[in-house]
Amino acid sequence: MSYRSGPGGEDQQPSSCPADGPVDPGRSVVEAVECNTARFVDLSGASGGVTPVHLVVSETDGQTASLTRTDILGLPELQNGLAFFGPGVDSVRVRTRSDRRQNVREHVTALAEQTSLEGFDFGGREFALEVQLG
């Protein structure tokens, strides 16, 4: 799993991190590590030759819309992203299998279409969602 911690992060080694966010993690977590204020959660367990999909959960300062537990639990990537989005964490990057791309995109798009606001909130955390390839 690739850990991108930004400039000056070359000498930093990731360490295991707790699931201390507003929901419990799902059973599909293969690995969860952190580098400073970023966490990386792997749900795929795949390596090499596969272009993974990432759901990025990050802090937002904009106006937010509340999500329900059903909204969160309806997508394992979002559930696990929020499970590791605890205090002092700026972002969580959840890696999943490439065949999950359409499901992840559709779910995030549907949530975004429910509101015209910049982000979401759940369990006392405010966050933005983004789906990325690679």
pLDDT at 3: 46
Query: For tokens 């966050």, what's the residue?
Result: 127
Percent of the chain with pLDDT over 70: 87
pLDDT at 12: 58
* Tokens standing for residue 110: 């549907």
Q: What mean pLDDT value characterizes the chain?
A: 87
Question: The pTM is what?
Answer: 0.85
Q: 86: how many CB neighbours lie within 10 A of its CB?
A: 17
Does position 11 have pLDDT exceeding 70, yes or no? no
Around 129, how many Cα atoms within 13 Å sit in the side-chain half-sphere? 31
Cβ neighbours for 79, distance < 8 A, ≥ 6 positions apart: 23, 25, 26, 72, 73
Give backbone dihedrals phi and psi of 51, rounded to 5 degrees, phi first: -85, 110
State mean pLDDT over 22-37.
90
Residue at 54: amino acid letter: H
How far, in Å, CA of 10 to CA of 20, rounded?
26
Q: pLDDT tens digits, residue range 61-113?
A: 889 999 999 999 999 999 999 999 999 999 999 999 888 999 999 999 999 99
Query: For tokens 């549907």, what's the residue?
Result: 110
More confident residue, 70 or 51: 70
Strands 125-133 and 53-59 come out as antiparallel
